[in-house]
Structure 1
Amino acid sequence: MDASDLRIALFSGNYNYIRDGANQALNRLVDYLLKQGAEVRVYSPTVEKPAFPPNAPVIHIPSLAVPRRPEYRIPIALPRRARRDLEAFRPNILHVASPDVLGHRAVSLAHRADLPVVASVHTRFETYVRYYGLAFLEPVLLAILRRFYRRCDAIFAPSDSMAQLLRDQRMNYDVGIWTRGIDREIFNPGMRDMGWRRGLGIEDEVPVIGFVGRLVMEKGLDVFSETIDCLSKKQVRHKVLVVGEGPARDWFEKRLPQAVFTGFQKGANLGRAVASMDVLFNPSVTETFGNVTLEALATGIPVVAARATGSESLVSDGVTGRLIRPGAIEEFAGALALYCRDPEARAAAGRAGIAMSSRFGWDEVNQALVDGYCRIIRQRAAGGRPPGPSPVP
């Protein structure tokens, strides 16, 4: 069995209506599958003006706007017309990309049809409640996630550290790796553009501390801001460059009035922005991989990141950057001060990051998931079924 034998039904809470790292990975996967001769059908909420056009047929799933985050939508059902479409498509494996209502319905449908189903893990959803004053709900969310993922034949994590966390949390007995790749034509040291920096009012000799990502509080914007305040008190010369857009932009701009905000960037413009930084600061603990971390390393700049899933698999502490205890403001500031003050330390970490990132190619990582699909289908054909969910203490 190979990719050309696959008929994949992909269920996602967001396939293309908002651009983020998770759905861009899904779209790259679908591109690869189609090139290999596979058939793919996507089931996801849609909007009138999506962030980018779909690359496969997308069957509309009804949804509601997320409270306080209306740019995202929550699927509310798997309607009959979508189920009929799925029956006509006749998939031989289902892939669920989010543990929402749509994902739960898809898993139940797969069980009734005796079809294998796998899940990819993109976000540490259980950590989000911390940013809304609901941290007491985290154990409940973990229990719900555990029941969901244990009903799947296998789950795929984007990093070794996230895979180990999922094993420790007893999410599934079959945890594979579907990591993320890097487009080296976009993310490389040659994209550095000092003229572009000057156009933003940044002097050549001033070290630039960068933030890249959606501007939402879950990305650790509070920790980032507190760390920059601490760095300023230490009288470390620097400039903050923020690349991204999101509902917290107004708050972030007021919190860091001296920072330069470029807004959303993509493609070669994003590669130029990242390569033109001197150090990337990523304090987030919600990522399962951290695409921006890999992109920064590929451009030859060090990364200072929270010691959390994703970053732990990408940043080699003291070699390609620094891994710091989450929320440790003074330690974050100390690590950033080192790279701001020591150009040779930056250069050494940059060279190490380029070498490390060289093993990440999109075709290679997507083929690993294709191999996983084929393995799961063969196992199911041979009578192998995933153990059912067990009681959670």
Structure 2
Amino acid sequence: MRIALFSGNYNYLREGANQALNILVRYLQDACGFSVRVYSPVTDTPAFEPAGTLVAVPSIMLPVRNEFRLALRLPNGIRDDIRRFSPDLVHVSTPDILGLRAQTFAMKLGIPVVASMHTRFETYLRYYGLDWARPALDAHLRRFYRRSDHVLAPTESLVSELRALRGDDRVSLWSRGVDTTLFNPDKRDAQWRRDIGIGDGDVAILFFGRVVVEKGVDIFVKVANDLQAKFHNVRILVVGTGPAAGLFETLPGTVFTGHLAGEDLARAIASADIMLTPSTTETFGNVLLEAMASGVAVVSADAQNARTILTSGQDGFICPPTDCGRYVSVLTELIESENLRKSIGLAGLRNSRQYSWERASGSVANVYRSIAAAG
């Protein structure tokens, strides 16, 4: 099969969505023998080498979040390239202008369209004072997912939600995976902790991911401030970069690793004691799995993705998204009890092992095949 994949950010920043897409493309090419051509905005400083053949789509820098780029149209040159490639199927992964234009062009050519959901974009608006735009965005998202021949969603709850939105059952699960060879408790490194100023008696609370306001950075900082007022040995470890990093300046002794990858990333995650993730904007949230696979106790905001992955009190903890008091209470228990941290981390480790990238990517390939077979 020949697959044309459209992305708003395929490799110029490292995010969970494009990680899943690149893993999928490698699987489609290596395990299935498919040919994949990817169309996306690019930059001169990509975060990593792309899987598949990447075709650059002209784009502009977003004014508010200038690390992101937006394609304003589907140029004639790109349309000609698609015609020459003659795809059997078009996969649109972002409900942006490029994704919408690609949908329309595929429909014109009679090519089936698969859409995948990666982010709850509607939840972003309140972080930027744009709640007034919610009805228009909701209408756009309904149209985008209804126009596709099939939709892929990362959790069963989102599958049910999208089936109700579409009024049919042409929605399938595309779960996620974790590399347990890379992410595992053996990567914990006491000397590395000492080298960055985290003592053996300190409890390192991890923020892991893009440092942006929609990840709940403000809640994290409020909770961490309360904990540091309560405990002298609480240290904050921030693994990631982004425009909201300045919010951590009120937390004394915060360690910033910047962007990490590979073994360096695995070591940093496993060397934390607790991960706090107050984000409610994820559709899945691979950081949960990667921390769990590393044996780190996880405390998460109550969101669809967290309820899918975690059983609160068993392999992690789930708290009301903006209830700082509840976060502080749960984290206090974990800070005071190393045994509780270890038992929760061990249960999370066992849970994480049920998630496989090969199985997740194989489910997408099967959807592609069934759509092609249906003609």
Smaller-chain TM-score bracket: over 0.9
Q: Is the deviation greater in 159-168 or in 220-229? A: 159-168
2:317 to 315, 322, 342: 322
Shift of 1:167: 4.1
Shift of 1:332: 0.7
1:103 matched to 2:99? The reply is: yes
How high is the sequence identity, in percent, across the aligned residues?
45
2:333 to 325, 334, 338: 338
1:152 is matched with: 148
Check conservation: 2:145, 2:166, Cα contact below 8 A: no
Shift of 1:165: 3.9
Check conservation: 1:124, 1:287, Cα contact below 8 A: yes
1:176 maps to amino acid: S
2:264 to 259, 269, 282: 269
Check conservation: 1:146, 1:172, Cα contact below 8 A: no
Check conservation: 1:149, 1:171, Cα contact below 8 A: no
Shift of 1:329: 0.4
Distance 1:248 1:85, change over 3 A: same
Q: State how far apart, in whole Å, the 2-side matches of 1:162 and 1:256 are.
A: 36
Q: What is the TM-score when the length of structure 2 is the normalising length?
A: 0.96
Pairwise CA RMSD: 1.5
Q: State how far apart, in whole Å, the 1-side matches of 2:290 and 2:167 are.
A: 29
1:124 to 111, 120, 123: 120
Shift of 1:161: 3.3
1:317 maps to amino acid: S
2:14 is matched with: 19
Shift of 1:374: 1.2
Q: Classify the secondary structure of the residue corresponding to 1:310.
A: helix
Q: Deviations over 1:93-139 (max 9, x none)?
A: 10001001111111111211121101111111111111111112222
1:115 matched to 2:126? The reply is: no
Instruction: Name stretches of at least 5 consecutive residues in structure 2 with no aligned partner.
Output: none
Q: Deviations over 1:172-225 (max 9, x none)?
A: 742211111111111001001111001111111211110100111111000001
Q: Classify the secondary structure of the residue corresponding to 1:48.
A: coil
1:306 to 301, 305, 319: 301
1:162 is matched with: 158
Check conservation: 2:284, 2:305, Cα contact below 8 A: yes
Shift of 1:171: 8.2
1:100 maps to amino acid: D
Q: What is the TM-score when the length of structure 1 is the normalising length?
A: 0.92
Aligned ranges for residues 161-200 of structure 1 at < 5 Å? 161-167=157-163, 169-170=165-166, 173-200=169-196
1:355 matched to 2:353? The reply is: no
1:203 is matched with: 199
1:259 is matched with: 254
Check conservation: 1:236, 1:341, Cα contact below 8 A: no
1:77 is matched with: 73
2:362 to 364, 367, 384: 367
Check conservation: 2:315, 2:344, Cα contact below 8 A: yes
1:284 to 279, 285, 291: 279
1:49 is matched with: 45
Instruction: Name stretches of at least 5 consecutive residues in structure 1 with no aligned partner.
Output: 1-5, 382-393
